[in-house]
Amino acid sequence: MAPAKHSIFLCFPLLFIISLSFRPVFAQKPVFACDVSNNPGLKNFTFCDPSLDVKSRVADLVGRLTLQEKIGWLVDAAQGVSRLGIPNYEWWSEALHGVSFVGPGTKFSSLVPGATSFPQVILTGATFNESLFEAIGKVVSTEARAMYNVGLAGLTFWSPNVNIFRDPRWGRGQETPGEDPLLSSKYGAAYVRGLQQRDDGDKDRLKVAACCKHYTAYDLDDWKGIRRYNFNALVTQQDLDDTFQPPFKSCVIDGNVASVMCSYNQVNGKPTCGDPDLLSGVIRGQWKLNGYIVSDCDSLNEIFNAQHYTKTPEETAALTVNAGLDLNCGSFLSKNAQAAVDRGLLNETAIDRAVSNNFATMMRLGFFDGDPSKTLYGNLGPKDVCTPANQEFAREAAQQGIVLLKNTKGSLPLSPTAIKSLAVIGPNANATHTMLGNYEGNPCKYTTPLQGLAVSVATVYQPGCADVPCGTAQVDAAKKVAAAADAVVLVMGSDDKIEKESLDRVDITLPGQQQLLVSAVANVSKGPVILVIMSGGGMDVQFAKDDPKITSILWVGFPGEAGGAAIADVIFGLYNPSGRLPMTWYPQSYADKVNMSDMHMRPDPSRDYPGRTYRFYKGPTVFPFGEGLSYSEFNHQLVKAPKFVSMPLEEGHVCQSSKCLSIDAVDETCKNLAFDVHLKVKNVGKMKGSHTIFLFSSPPQVHNAPQKQLLGFQKMHLEPQGEGMVRFNVDICKDLSLVDENGNKKVALGKHLLHVGNLKHSLNVRI
Ligand SMILES: *[C@@H]1O[C@H](CO)[C@@H](O)[C@H](O)[C@H]1NC(C)=O
Ligand SMILES: *[C@@H]1O[C@H](CO)[C@@H](O)[C@H](O)[C@H]1NC(C)=O
Ligand SMILES: *[C@@H]1O[C@H](CO)[C@@H](O)[C@H](O)[C@H]1NC(C)=O
Ligand SMILES: *[C@@H]1O[C@H](CO)[C@@H](O)[C@H](O)[C@H]1NC(C)=O
Ligand SMILES: *[C@@H]1O[C@H](CO)[C@@H](O)[C@H](O)[C@H]1NC(C)=O
Ligand SMILES: *[C@@H]1O[C@H](CO)[C@@H](O)[C@H](O)[C@H]1NC(C)=O
């Protein structure tokens, strides 16, 4: 079946062409309620009074609405109530790495033809720079608010995507910050703060509303006919609690996100948007979401039509709203909620709860405060979008993410004076739109890799393949320019024909004949050969790692509108690379052997299942999680770390009477249980640069614990020979704990091996 979203996706290429060639001017006024200048009577309504608290205003508003009017606010294309001065509102806007044209709530026009397009999130994840995550969110929300003011965008943005990138084939892995729950948690909370936080520090109000998605254990789009719409993710309680849920929990608790989106798939036989334990129980109950729960687009229809989980549309409507769903992306509830009420399956109290959550969010956004032009963000407009500073920041973000994976001595950085001619080869060498990745908007402008490189040296260009899938490589033409050049840069990898939403990969090698082209070109080259891989997911490029003629490898993700400039900055040493892989790069044999639909994180030797991610997978990798070289070298020295810590035991704990492998991490035990690790870091190279310090631990192997787990990361900038101190504060119950097979939080007793780079330190946890 073709849900609404599909038709939108099919229109993309067309939309894109239209928006570049013909830019209609849309409304130039923001959409808002309580416009007292037009209708002085609205002043009398409590819900229009910004000086009152949100709760009273919402109660007043809901009390004035008929059931039919309320139902109009259960769907993304919300129906205005003109008698109360409430206009239509479109909830669906997106801002994953810049204001996006995905979703009907946002449009570009001649007034705002483009917005700053930051790197696709996977490359931002590779920066391991928490302040950058937040700073990007802040720029994006400023541009979003500026577009709202001229009627081109909404106030509710369904970003970020914090699903765990657990399988290299996932077409949407590019949208996420990677495979590690800690990184995803920190990314999610920081990006949400960047989007939502107001400059006046008013915590009750929102600059724009973010949304963490897709809750939960989603991570598969379309692989060998298994589709997200009816995929039943079989997930153990342990994997759910220590892998899939942490980023969502952090979004809600640490980021105060205003919304969570439930996913298309089922988890253990129940559709997530109809599971009261996951919605009312966890998000609303345990985590105390202050905001609304929205369904993925048309997912209610999928529950009924694709999953056949419910017998009637009315039953579906009742199931989801009763489970805790507040807003339906799509029109399912506007069509079926009334009938569900009429049949006694759904009551008005539940609908009141749902619309109250939706209205409360709109009140926090100022939507019911009347004309926004005199308010904090009222002055923003087209002049605040694509500013030179924002565009420069997109370049800086790409610089910070690019990962250097191989560098033979004497290869990179290239000297722009020594290189008289540079051959630039490959189907992504002159990439534009490909640099943006999924959930893009129109960029301010593009700098392609070729344009970026040509600023410093004379270039000759050969695409080498007709397109990225590279059915037949144009080897001879490429060899000819390579043989004549002082150095070669090959820009290869994937694009949206290979990996995107609704398209998972089967092969994780370079597409088509790209590998053949790379090897042939390298073979005839006389100088350095730099392989640049532009992709969302990892690639099996073992051949390039092993080929001595390929002297350097860079991974550049989908680097955003300024990607070509950032690639050139790294290649010519204007920026010292500091990115680290946020996901494991597996060999093709992994993809051949492992079912993508198998959600288990932990290995199972009895069925030869190798497990997933650096936390559990022990097999061969092409490049491991955290890999990334610099033009400098950095040394670590341990200054301070305890050799043991003692855990107080709660009265009556089972460990008092028997020998224990772990103890319960309960509140009483956990109070003030923390220690510091101090490290000295020195740049012993000749170039200034940034360096990421990872603190990992390998816990005692009880309860199927991960073999290795990231406890913290910090990034610091050091001049040549510069030194700095890093302090990690490790909270034993929060950071060092694990989740047992039943989802209980435990601290393992015995030896925890802490590691930073090559340093290892043994910490004994005892009672
Ligand atoms: C608003 O309320 C005031 C006092 O209650 C009343 O006099 C006035 O007529 C009302 N205005 C409108 C337009 O309803
Ligand atoms: C309405 O439905 C909810 C969810 O099924 C239930 O908890 C509540 O008691 C019902 N309220 C009334 C007034 O029937
Ligand atoms: C590279 O792409 C840019 C932007 O699309 C285009 O203007 C330029 O002609 C291309 N360069 C070559 C050599 O094809
Ligand atoms: C490399 O070049 C040599 C001859 O110069 C040739 O024999 C060999 O097949 C080439 N290898 C590749 C991978 O093209
Ligand atoms: C992979 O999944 C398919 C379909 O779900 C199943 O039939 C097959 O046994 C699985 N293979 C392995 C190796 O688990
Ligand atoms: C992290 O990103 C910020 C930009 O937001 C930048 O100023 C800072 O230098 C970066 N940190 C490091 C260590 O590179």
Q: Domain of 583: which CATH number? A: 3.40.50.1700
Q: What is the amino acid identity at position 248?
A: F
Query: For the residues 161-167, what does the mean pLDDT come to?
Result: 98
Provide the token pair at 231. 């995929």
**Do 99 and 143 sit in the same domain of this protein?**
yes
The answer to the question of residue 13 being in a domain is no
Structure tokens at 515: 């590998």
The mean of the pLDDT values for the chain is 95
Treating both helix axes as pointing N-terminal to C-terminal, what angle do 181-196 and 130-149 enclose, rounded to 10 degrees? 40
**Which pLDDT tens digit goes with each residue over 100-152?**
999 999 999 999 999 999 999 999 999 999 999 999 999 999 999 999 999 99
* Residue 576 near residue 686 (C-beta atoms within 8 A): no
Examine residue 509 and state whether it is found in any structural domain, yes or no: yes
**Which residues constitute the domain of residue 525?**
399-593
From the CA of 610, which ligand is nearest?
Answer: 5
Residue 201 makes CB contacts below 8 A (sequence gap 6+) with: none
Residue 82 CB partners (closer than 8 Å, separation 6+): none
403 and 370 co-located in one domain: no
Which DSSP category does 676 fall into?
A: E
Half-sphere exposure of 542 (CA within 13 A, CB side): 12
Report the pLDDT value the prediction gives residue 16, as an integer from 0 to 100: 40
Contacts of 128 (CB under 8 A, 6+ apart): 183, 579, 580, 582, 692, 694, 713, 715
Question: Do 641 and 669 share a domain, yes or no?
Answer: yes
Domain end call among 539, 573, 593: 593
User: Is 570 within a domain?
Assistant: yes
CA-proximal residue: ligand 2, atom 9 (nearest): 349
Kindly state the tokens that stand for 411.
């290869």
> Which residue has the CA at smallest separation from atom 6 of ligand 4?
523
| Residue 597, ligand 5, Cβ within 6 A | yes
Question: What's the gap in Å between 593 CA and the centre of ligand 5?
Answer: 10
Q: What is the pLDDT of residue 362?
A: 98
pLDDT for position 26: 54
Pocket test for ligand 1, best of 38, 42, 44 (most atoms within 8 A of CB): 44
Q: Identity (one letter) of the amino acid at 385?
A: V
Ligand 3 atom with minimal separation from the 446 CA: 4
Q: Which residue's CA lies nearest to atom 3 of ligand 6?
A: 132
- Among 450, 462, 467, say which to mutate for ligand 3: greatest number of ligand atoms within 8 Å of CB: 450
* Number of compact structural domains in the chain: 3
Residue 714: give its domain's CATH number: 2.60.40.10
| Residue 259: C-alpha distances to residues 210, 272, 303 (Å) | 6, 15, 21
Beta carbon of 41 within 6 Å of any ligand 1 atom: yes
User: For 70-91, what is each residue's pLDDT tens digit?
Assistant: 999 999 999 999 999 999 999 9
Which tens digits make up the pLDDT trace of 24-64? 555 699 999 999 999 999 999 999 999 999 999 999 999 99
Mark whether 329 and 236 lie in a shared domain. Answer: yes
Q: Which residues are catalytic?
A: 296
Ligand with smallest separation from the Cα of 352: 2
Looking at residue 615, its pLDDT comes to 98
Span 586-600, mean pLDDT? 98
The mean pLDDT of 166-192, rounded to a whole number, is: 98
Going from the Cα of 80 to the center of ligand 1, the distance in angstroms, rounded, reads 23
* Residue 351 CA, ligand 2 centroid: distance in Å: 10
Alpha helices in 699-741 (DSSP H): 732-735
Examine residue 123 and state whether it is found in any structural domain, yes or no.
Answer: yes
Q: What is the spatial order of strands in the sheet that 644-646 belongs to?
A: 644-646, 759-766, 750-756, 689-698, 709-718
Same domain, residue pair 485 and 531: yes
Among residues 23, 111, 6, 17, which one has the least CA distance to residue 433? 17
My answer on whether 158 and 74 are in the same domain is yes
| Whether residue 641 is found in the same domain as residue 521 | no
Give the model's pLDDT for residue 651.
Answer: 81
Q: Which residues have any ligand 6 atom within 6 Å of their CB?
A: 129, 131-132, 135, 690, 715-717
H or E element that contains 317:
helix 313-323
Q: Which residue owns the Cα nearest ligand 4 atom 12? A: 520
For residue 276, what is the domain's CATH number? 3.20.20.300
Determine the distance from the C-alpha atom of residue 138 to the mean position of all C-alpha atoms in its chain, rounded to a whole number. Answer: 15
Instruction: Name which residue sits closest to atom 4 of ligand 6, judged by CA.
Output: 132
Closest residue by CA, ligand 4 atom 2: 523
Q: Which of 67, 279, 326, 349 to mutate to test the pocket of ligand 2 (most atoms within 8 A of CB)?
A: 349
pLDDT at 547: 98
> Do the domain assignments include residue 393?
no
How high is the pLDDT of residue 668?
80
Domain's final residue, options 562, 593, 624: 593
- What is the number of the ligand closest to the CA of 40? 1
* 44 within ligand 1 shell (Cβ under 6 A): yes
701, part of any domain: yes
- Residue 375: which of 6, 742, 34 has the closest Cα? 34
**Is residue 62 in some structural domain?**
yes
- Model confidence over 519-538: pLDDT tens digits? 999 999 999 999 999 999 99
Residue 333 domain-assigned? yes
Per-residue pLDDT of 218-269, as tens digits, reads 999 999 999 999 999 999 999 999 999 999 999 999 999 999 999 999 999 9
CB of 448 closer than 6 angstroms to any ligand 3 atom: yes
Do 93 and 194 sit in the same domain of this protein?
yes
Burial string for 239-254 (b: 16+ CB within 10 Å, else e) reads bbbbbbbbbbbbbbee
* 188, 240: one domain: yes
The residue whose CA has the least distance to atom 1 of ligand 5 is: 595
Residues 361 and 449 in one domain: no
Which ligand has the shortest distance to the CA of 41? 1
Choose one of 335, 352, 383: the last residue of a domain: 383
Distance of CA 354 from the midpoint of ligand 2 (Å) = 13
Which among 523, 526, 549, 550 is the best mutation to test ligand 4's pocket, defined by most ligand atoms within 8 Å of the CB?
A: 523
* Residue 156 bridge partners (DSSP): 209
Is 746 found in the same domain as 715? yes
CB-based contact 761:755 (threshold 8 Å): yes
Mean local confidence (pLDDT), 649-669: 84
